[in-house]
Structure 1
Amino acid sequence: MTGRVTSHNRPLQRPDPLEGWSRRVEILTDAVVIPPLERSFVQPSGILRKNGTFCAQGAHWRKTRPLTVRPQKPTGPVARLPGTWLWGGVLFRHFGHFIVESSGRLWPLPNLPEKIDGVLFTPKSPGAGYAPEPFHLDFFAMAGVPRVYQADRPLQVEKLYVPGQGFGLGEIIEGTDHARAYFRNHFARNISPNGPEKLYISRSKLGRGRGKLLCEDHLDTLLANQGYEVFHPQAHDLPTQVARYKAAKHVIASEGSAIHLFAMVAREDQKLAVMARRVSQATDFILRHARSFSGVDPVLVNTLHRSWVPENESVARLWLSELDFTAAHRILSDHGFISGPSWEDPSENAMEDAKKKASGVPLAPIISEGKPT
């Protein structure tokens, strides 16, 4: 099968997209899978081998550290899960984190030496409900997953394939060669392109409390006048989203999680422009993912006048930003996405209105180098 299959594993180490545990598969029998007991950033959770040792191969990494660490061995009886399973790791309920962080162990699926019963996960948040969301089911169907099982209690698994984490947040955002090949050759192959050649992936209809560009509805109108379909992915199921992303030759996207799904089905001959809405490492992750998985070289349109955040908050995902429309037009025009006369910014009154509608709470300016951005 693709990747190295082992029955033992090295000590825990950082994911390396070129070599090491992220490109191997360990096979375990009668291992015990233990879900987290409490909500926290780093959680004791994961896999104990039959002999009681921690299977570091199954740990979930984000950036420079594992978010799942060795759990305690259960003291009472443990339920048994019969059959043969692939270890999926942590099942996130947030769309963006799910796409990037719950898909990194699917890469061996086409090349496993035997039929499996499904993919086994632990939940990120215990007690939050275990039923998968529709987008989970859509994604797994496109991934060729026969069944998904979440461990809501310790389980002894008859047979478990434990692949290394081939994709995720951090240096591994570009994926291993195995992970990239899996998405390129096997993911969503049954979804045909369906949609226009020009697509704008908008965040303008997201509700309050979500980071976005202020007056993005103005940008919607300007791009619609350029022949772009203004597409709101949250209003469509994942197969519809994928069909649109496959069909478009020119894609402009307001920076967000939708671009991660685009990256998984994009082709090298497509053009992508990303409208920055914040200053964040997440922006770099999005660009690197799109570039490494598809070969597309994204154009970053980073022309923010000023940015705001709800008072007493600082996280970049909540930023509400004012776009310099004239500068954005220049970049998009220079790269062949649009043509025609320059754009003008919305009025100050329109911006003030947009701030009130987008948040509903007092906003504070983001300070950069001693000055508001």
Structure 2
Amino acid sequence: MGTDSATFDPDAPLARSITTLDAPLIWPVTHHAKNHSPRPGGVIGADGHFVDLSHCRYTSTKRWTLPCVPDPDVPVTDMPGTWLYGGVLDPAFGHCIIESLSRLWVLDHLDTPPDGIVFLPAVHRSFYQRPKRYLAATQAVFDAFPGLPTRRACPTQPARPERLILGAQGMGGGDFSPGAPEFRAFIKRHFLPDVAPAGSENLYVSRARLSVMGNLMFEDRIEALFAANGYEIFHPEAHSLTEQVARYRAARRIVTVEGSALHVIAYALAPDQPVEIGIIPRRTTGNTASFVAQLHWQSAARVHVIDTLTRLYHPGRIYGEQSNVRALHDLRRMADELAALGLIENATPIANPTEDEIATALAALPKQMVRMEL
């Protein structure tokens, strides 16, 4: 796939995209308080032209970067040695584990490993101009890949590597969710390969303890439903990636709310692991379909979507990906669907909240929420 193709082809190999540039410029994306992306940034060749292969994307049609030109008045730092271009380094876990890993597949196609990996810093207000924060916040993800180059750089000012190896982006969101063939092979080969299965065969992966706006209402009731059906209730944020992977590799039934835990599950599962996965949506965007596609291409899981959404509640300004909404499900219908799919045996120990209970739950949120019927 060329970097400017309209769609991403998960069957198309990327190995022929690998190229090495002498003395290019890494031009970081600049911060702007009113908007995160897309913004000019990427790689500029020694000839002064922007390198299209360095574009970073959320999907094939949604760019994270735009072409840029060098500013001769801005000082440049030299980076001796050979570096792999890693694309965007995003401290947000869900983006880090897909976009910030999306070019590591190139390492499996090099005769000599590079001296390090160099990234563009994602534009986050509390991280910008603090490269050590980017590196520290993402260290656990990169530690899950033994044998990577130990040096990572995230320059927030223009930098000039002595040599730079580039390969096409092999993973992302939307139509990028299946991953390229080389990316899928890299993940199965290198993502915590020595972690053995350990834990329950039935796992409910919960978001109930996350202090985020984007979540389900009354997930404690859903937890109780699964506990009554013999599931272990698992909160991944309380465990290391190693512990998470061990649990997912041991499971035969996993149900979870749509979210970044599904990226880890897709990476962790053995290519032939027989597992049933249920996904409960928390928004009405295409994110759930992206996770289904990722699991289809990166695992042998049988995936079921339990879509019993009835309402969304959102602040006055709703983000495009609905990352700040609270989702209300018909819990009784959810339980019946779970039972029909064979994911639980007993659907009775759950009740829908009353309107008064819903109002009380909304009043406890830090922002006034607007009701959206579905």
Relative to the length of structure 1, the TM-score reads 0.89
| Contact in 1 for aligned 2:15/2:182 (Cα 8 Å) | no
Query: Is 1:16 the counterpart of 2:13 in the alignment?
Result: no
Residues 115 and 49 (structure 1 numbering): CA distance in 2 closer, same or farther, change over 3 Å?
Answer: same
After superposition, the Cα gap between the structure-2 partners of 1:70 and 1:117, relative to the gap in structure 1 and judged at 3 Å, is same
Alpha-carbon distance in 2 for matches of 1:229, 1:20: 39
Counterpart position of 2:72: 75
CA gap 1:345/1:174 in 2 versus in 1, 3 angstroms: same
Q: Evaluate the alpha carbon distance shift between residue 70 and residue 299 of structure 1 in structure 2; reply closer, same or farther with a 3 A threshold.
A: same
Q: Which residue of structure 2 aligns with residue 185 of structure 1? A: 189
Deviates more, 1:158-167 or 1:72-81: 72-81
Aligned to 2:145: 143
CA distance 1:38–1:135, shift in 2 (3 Å): closer
Match of 2:31 among 38, 44, 47: 38
1:318 to 309, 317, 324: 324
Q: Does 1:301 align with 2:306?
A: yes
C-alpha separation in 1, matches of 2:100 and 2:161: 20
1:89 aligns with 2:87: yes
Partner Cα separation in structure 2 for residue 138 and residue 172 of structure 1: 23
Say whether residues 1:168 and 2:172 are aligned partners: yes
- Structure 2 Cα separation of the partners of residues 344 and 172 of structure 1: 37
Kindly indicate whether the alpha-carbon contact (under 8 Å) linking 1:309 and 1:364 is maintained by their aligned counterparts in 2.
yes
**Structure 1 pair 94–155 and aligned structure 2 pair: CA distance change class (3 A):** same
The match for 1:122 is: 120
- Give the superposition deviation at 1:166: 0.8
Aligned equivalents of 1:320 and 1:215: distance in 2?
10
Distance 1:227 1:11 in 2: 47
Amino acid at match of 1:350: E
One-letter code aligned to 1:260:
H
* 14, 23, 26: which one aligns with 2:19: 26
Could you tell me which of 127, 131, 134 is aligned with 1:132? 134
| Corresponding position of 2:223 | 220
Partner residue, 1:352: 359
Distance in structure 2 (CA, Å) of the matches to 1:233 and 1:12: 36
The answer to whether the aligner puts 1:109 opposite 2:71 as a matched pair is no
Q: Which of the numbers 228, 232, 252 marks the counterpart of 1:229?
A: 232
Shift in Å, 1:354: 2.5
CA RMSD of aligned residues (A): 2.3
The one-letter code sitting in structure 2 at the alignment partner of 1:16 is F
CA distance in 1, matches of 2:169, 2:52: 11
Residue identity opposite 1:152 in structure 2: T
Amino acid at match of 1:262: I
Q: 1:293 Cα deviation (Å)?
A: 1.0
Deviation at 1:88, TM superposition (A): 0.3
Q: Could you tell me how far apart the structure 2 residues matched to 1:176 and 1:265 are?
A: 17
In the TM superposition, what is the alpha-carbon distance from 1:217 to its structure 2 partner? 0.6
Is the Cα–Cα contact under 8 Å of residues 225 and 347 in structure 2 kept in the other structure? no
TM-score, normalised via structure 2 length: 0.88
SS in 1 for 2:312: strand
Number of aligned residue pairs: give it: 358
> What is the CA deviation profile of residues 345-365 of structure 1, one whole-angstrom value per residue up to 9, with x for unaligned ones?
2431433332233x2332211
SS in 1 for 2:327: strand
8 Å Cα contact 2:98-2:171 kept in structure 1: yes
DSSP 3-state at the match of 2:24? strand
- Label 1:253 to 1:223 Cα distance change in 2 as closer, same or farther (>3 A): same
Q: State the partner residue of 1:6.
A: none
How big is each residue's C-alpha offset from its partner over 1:147-170, in whole Å with a ceiling of 9 and x where there is no partner? 221122111111211010011123
2:210 aligned partner, one-letter code:
L
Letter in 2 for 1:231: F
Deviation of the 1:62 alpha carbon? 2.4
Equivalent in 261, 286, 291 of residue 291 of structure 2: 286
Identity level (%): 28
Contact 2:203 2:234 in 1 (8 A): yes
Query: Which letter does structure 2 place at the counterpart of 1:29?
Result: D
> What is the SS of the residue equivalent to 1:340?
coil
Gaps of 5+ in 2: none
- How big is each residue's C-alpha offset from its partner over 1:229-272, in whole Å with a ceiling of 9 and x where there is no partner? 11112222222222222221111101111111111112341111
> Residues 41-94 of structure 1: CA distance to partner in whole angstroms, max 9, x if unpaired?
111111111222221111112220432122222414422101121110011121
- Matched residue, 1:54: 50
